[in-house]
């Protein structure tokens, strides 16, 4: 079963993303959530999601650190990490891509772009 993990310390952002992606559940995709970086790493290692929508600014462990651990330390290159953050400067995007992110998107995000990207990765056509 394909999986999508949403990681954000703000509950309303997690809920908004869950609602944006809920149609994927009709295609057998499981949607998981985490409110911090440590929980995200646990879930990624256990559940092996195909896609992780990852916030950058979180307490204790930033999205950059989570991404770097997953891509560089654990070498899970088949996990598509899409950083979704309010940090929109070029230097922030470079840092995210250098950490191993597959895509860097800024908030506020366009739900259509989120759905389009997820459908491309999962090869699901609506």
pLDDT in tens, 60-101: 899 999 999 999 999 999 999 999 988 888 898 899 999 999
H-only helix segments in the chain: 11-21, 37-47, 63-68, 90-99, 111-122
Total domain count, the chain: 1
Q: How far apart are CA 72 and CA 53, in angstroms?
A: 18
The pairs formed by 103-111 with CB atoms below 8 angstroms and a separation of 24 or more are 107/13, 109/84, 111/20
Q: Would you call 45 helix, strand, or coil by DSSP?
A: helix
Burial of 12 (0-12, 13-18, 19+ CB in 10 A): exposed
Q: Would you call 3 helix, strand, or coil by DSSP?
A: strand
Of the ranges 2-11, 16-25, 103-112, which one carries the lowest mean pLDDT score? 103-112
* CATH value at residue 40: 3.40.50.2300
pLDDT of residue 117: 96
Q: Would you call 31 helix, strand, or coil by DSSP?
A: strand
| Structural domain boundaries enclosing 40 | 3-122
CA 31 to chain centroid, in Å, comes to 11
Q: Which two tokens stand for residue 13?
A: 């952002």
| Owner of token pair 């952002």 | 13
pLDDT of residue 61: 96
Quote the DSSP letter at residue 4.
E
pLDDT of residue 2: 97
């Amino acid at each position: 079963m394909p999986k999508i993990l949403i990681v954000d310390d703000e509950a309303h952002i997690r809920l908004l993303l869950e609602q944006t992606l809920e149609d994927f559940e009709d295609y057998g995709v499981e949607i998981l959530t985490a409110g911090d970086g440590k929980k995200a790493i646990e879930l990624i290692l256990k559940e092996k999601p195909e896609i992780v929508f990852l916030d950058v600014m979180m307490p204790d462990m930033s999205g950059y650190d989570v991404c770097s651990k997953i891509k560089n330390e654990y070498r899970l290159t088949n996990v598509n990490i899409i950083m979704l953050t309010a940090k929109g400067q070029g230097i922030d995007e470079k840092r995210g891509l250098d950490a191993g992110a597959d895509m860097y998107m800024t908030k506020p995000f366009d739900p259509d772009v989120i759905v389009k990207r997820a459908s491309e990765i999962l090869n699901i056509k609506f």
